[in-house]
């Protein structure tokens, strides 16, 4: 992680290059950009690029700043893991080798470069005291846009509804940014990395969030489906993963290549999720108390991993590296 978080006023940016990657190179590292708004008594905050392989938020901020729009209130715009985003071939690395996942660093420890940057981001947000914050992300699998937050409070749902019509209540401690913040905040998953539709969701939602006079109050309730994220599926230690349309040679577990098409869909009992090399379940399914529920939800039958009871997966990744470093998917329940 190169350098400390620099704080800049928008006018200090100078001429903004037309290409987002060129703009990030000009920034040179993590920055917090302050933009004055019509109402100087309030602030809203946006964070993005906590993961270097999730470009939609950075592209949205880049396009919005180039447009020279005047926000309704002061804006704090944090662009975090610039170095990972720029590493060849570009927007390909969640974090650099040897570094921690930045969006798992906000509960500490803060005594290494990644933790130090997380601490600086928290300090910048605390200093700005925003009335609301959105943290823009992409998925690596096929997902519709959705928001994630700690509780479905009305103000949070109204912020979420600027971007998506689904809200997932997170009950799993991960060390993510939203877990460390007091203001109404939401993580926004705008869609798959590299999908122009995800870039469009990020930009249109960002414009609404920054340019509307009031985003926390409205007439009536926002129309948002609320789900609760109750479990997290991880690979068991030592299990090797492949993603393919048939069993992959040398892999302990081969995930169906199209399983991410079932994100936010009910998976019925008996549905095959992939192929196993031996009879042991390759997954750990941890609930919000840390207990392993994999025996309740999965069974290995004749070399296939099948669902034992209904479940609704989200954020299924088809990237074996991300699955090994973080998780394979989450399970949600409708509220």
Domains of the chain: 6-223 (3.40.630.10), 230-334 (no CATH)
Q: What is the pLDDT of residue 140?
A: 84
Average pLDDT of the residues of the chain = 94
Q: Which residues lie below 8 Å from residue 53, measured CB to CB, with a gap of 6+?
A: 84, 85, 91, 92, 93, 94, 138, 140, 193
pLDDT digits (tens, 9 = 90+) for 257-313: 999 988 999 999 999 999 999 999 999 999 988 999 999 999 999 999 999 999 999
Alpha-carbon radius of gyration of the chain: 20
User: Is residue 112 pLDDT above 90, yes or no?
Assistant: yes
CA-based nearest residue to 117, from 30, 26, 28: 30
Cross-strand bridge partners of residue 292: 286
pLDDT > 90 fraction of the chain, expressed in percent and rounded: 86
User: Is residue 150 pLDDT above 90, yes or no?
Assistant: yes
Question: What band does 220 get if pLDDT is binned at 50, 70 and 90?
Answer: low
Q: Determine the Cα–Cα distance for residues 204 and 218; give it in Å rounded to an integer.
A: 19
Residues 185, 135 contacting (CB under 8 angstroms): yes
Q: Determine the Cα–Cα distance for residues 122 and 177; give it in Å rounded to an integer.
A: 8
Q: What is the pTM of this model?
A: 0.88
DSSP label at residue 198: H
């Amino acid at each position: 992680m190169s350098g400390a978080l620099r704080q800049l006023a928008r006018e200090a940016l100078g001429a903004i290059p037309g290409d987002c990657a060129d703009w990030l190179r000009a920034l040179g590292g993590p920055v917090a950009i302050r933009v004055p708004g019509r109402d100087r008594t309030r602030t809203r905050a946006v964070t993005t690029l906590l993961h270097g392989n999730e470009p939609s938020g950075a592209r949205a901020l880049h396009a919005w700043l180039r447009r020279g729009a005047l926000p309704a209130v002061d804006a704090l715009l944090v662009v975090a893991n610039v170095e990972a985003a720029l590493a060849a071939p570009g927007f390909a690395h969640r974090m650099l080798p040897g570094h921690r996942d930045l969006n798992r660093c906000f509960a500490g420890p803060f005594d290494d470069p990644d933790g130090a940057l997380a601490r600086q981001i928290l300090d910048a947000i605390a200093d700005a005291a925003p009335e609301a914050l959105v943290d823009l992300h992409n998925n690596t699998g096929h997902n519709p846009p959705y928001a994630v937050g700690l509780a479905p409070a009305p103000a949070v749902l109204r912020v979420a509804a600027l971007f998506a019509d689904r809200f997932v209540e997170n009950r799993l401690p991960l060390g993510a940014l939203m877990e460390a913040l007091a203001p109404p905040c939401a993580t926004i998953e705008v869609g798959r990395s590299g999908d122009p539709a995800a870039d469009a969701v990020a930009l249109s939602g960002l414009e609404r969030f920054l340019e509307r006079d009031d985003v926390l109050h409205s007439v009536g309730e926002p129309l948002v489906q609320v789900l609760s994220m109750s479990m997290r599926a991880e690979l068991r230690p030592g299990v090797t993963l492949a993603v393919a349309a048939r069993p992959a040679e040398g892999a302990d577990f081969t995930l169906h290549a199209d399983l991410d098409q079932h994100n936010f869909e009910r998976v019925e009992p008996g549905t095959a999720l992939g192929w196993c090399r031996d009879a042991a379940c390759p997954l750990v399914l941890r609930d919000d108390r840390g207990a392993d529920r994999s025996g309740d939800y999965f069974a290995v039958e004749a070399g296939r991993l099948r669902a034992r009871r209904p479940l609704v997966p989200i954020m299924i990744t088809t990237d074996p590296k991300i699955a090994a470093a973080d998780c394979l998917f989450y399970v949600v329940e409708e509220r």
